[in-house]
Amino acid sequence: MTRRAAVLALIGSVAACGFTPVYGPQGGGTALVNAIDLPEPSDDSQYVFNRRFEERMGRGGGAAPYRLTTRIQIDDQDIGATSAGSVTRVRLIGRVFFTLTDTATGEVVRDARTNAFTGYSTTGATVATSAAQRDAQERLMILLADQVIDDLVLHVSNVPTAGSTP
């Protein structure tokens, strides 16, 4: 069997099994694009989370059919130290508890949580350590926003596309 025949056979078998691309015409991802309203950010972490969410899913605005509420929790953990006891590395552990609600009915469509971690070095100057901490927090919020989006797209496949009737 040639490579081309193998690829065509694979594509045919995937299509036959009922596979629907998540961002395809009938996919769950398409229904949520520009359809989710986010709360106003209350701090830098929420701002970065919202920015990343809107980069990938668009801005739903106040008239969006769904509302996403989030509670972000960040803990830090010292994971490296010198023999003198100075901290050399910090791990940031982030959790997002989120609820997607249908704004018309008030029905909870998805209620879940996700978590991720990242770290930064504290061995530089104070300014360098502060910059590394801000960068790590931004990376953590991007990771968490991506995970929330992935969760919603994978688990919320039965929502109608914005503007359509169920």
What residues does each domain of the chain span? 27-155
> Residue 34: what residue type?
N
Distance CA 136, CA 124 (A): 15
Distance CA 166, CA 160 (A): 5
φ, ψ of residue 118 to 5 degrees: the values are -150, 175
* Residue 60 in this model has a pLDDT that exceeds 70: yes
CATH second-level architecture of 27-155?
2-Layer Sandwich (3.30)
| Sequence-ordered list of residues with C-beta below 8 angstroms from that of 51, at least 6 positions apart, any chain | none
For 81-112, what is each residue's pLDDT tens digit? 888 888 889 999 999 999 999 999 999 999 99
Predicted confidence at residue 66, as pLDDT, reads 95
